[in-house]
Amino acid sequence: MLEFIVRFFVWLLQKLPLKAVQGLGHFVGGLAFIFAKKGRRTALSNLQLAFGDELSQKNRERIARNSFRNLITTAFEICWAKNLPEDINPVVSPLNKEACIEAYKRGKGVLLIVPHMGNWEVCARWLTQNLPSVNAVVRKQSEPWMEHMLQSFRHDTGLKVIYNRDSLRQVLSVLRHGELVIMMIDQHMRKGSVQVDFFGQPAMTSAAAALLAVKTGCEVLVGACYRGPNGGWGCEFTDPIETTLSGDRDSDYIVNTQRYVSLIEDMVRQHPEDWMWMHRRWRAGKQREASHTRR
């Protein structure tokens, strides 16, 4: 029954114009903020930890509410995405795109680290249109019909999927063949993680990206997606990030991961309403006082 309802809703979304899809996402996201009490509490708590007294209660609530709106709108846009124009360039506005394109051309493989911001799935379409081979490390859905649906959406974008469970060998292979791999490391991770600072708080973070950079010597960039004006989408790429190779692997994993996470933090600071604040990011034990003065 649930599958039928979801598939009918997806079919309905695909019949609507994009503005209507985004308006519906904005409305439903606002309702989710009201009724998803646990997620709302988590988002507001995270904002307090991250910004301390920099933000008033009113601003924390505004950012949290818009974070819910972005997440729901993103889900609706993914369902609608088959209607995207064949040429995505007019509707996605990337900053510093040359850095990503030139890194790919050097043929050493590119590891693109992105946070859960904006519509990361739609912006991936820009990558597949402008680069020869783009892969994404993703989590497999527990429901087969849901996984099949997501696979269909991603297939339409030209994105090749690598499932995160036991993915290391496959990711190493595609990087060594000079391809690009998208990886997300902005969520809490226990297994294979290191502790770094994110918004001044200890955050357990996957060390997989640093391990791959150390092992392959690939190019590493951080990118982020965000909502542009008039219903469009924006994204931004950093310049290639130097990989520290001291000979001490454990230390290198921490140093390099911290570098990536600090860049993610900078991007979240620029577009806080587009990040997924309802995720329990900080679970590394007792957090530091949130009322500290932020830089």
Does residue 151 surpass a pLDDT of 90?
Answer: no
Asked whether the CA dihedral 184, 93, 233, 259 is positive or negative, the reply is positive
pLDDT for the residue 91:
87
Q: Which residue did the predictor score with more confidence, 272 or 291?
A: 272
pLDDT for the residue 284:
55
Tokens of 29: 């996201």
pLDDT (mean) for 29-51: 97
Does residue 232 surpass a pLDDT of 90?
Answer: no
Does residue 293 surpass a pLDDT of 70?
Answer: no
pLDDT (mean) for 139-148: 85
pLDDT for the residue 292:
38
Does residue 288 surpass a pLDDT of 70?
Answer: no
pLDDT (mean) for 238-263: 97
pLDDT (mean) for 117-142: 91
Does residue 213 surpass a pLDDT of 90?
Answer: yes
Nearest Cα to Cα of residue 276 among 76, 137, 21, 70: 70
Nearest Cα to Cα of residue 291 among 40, 39, 38, 47: 47
Tell me which amino acid residue 255 is: V
Tokens of 132: 């020869």
pLDDT (mean) for 249-259: 97
Does residue 287 surpass a pLDDT of 70?
Answer: no
Q: From CA 71, how far away is CA 271, in angstroms rounded?
A: 14
CA angle 257-258-259, nearest 5°?
Answer: 90
In angstroms, the first-to-last Cα distance of the chain is: 51
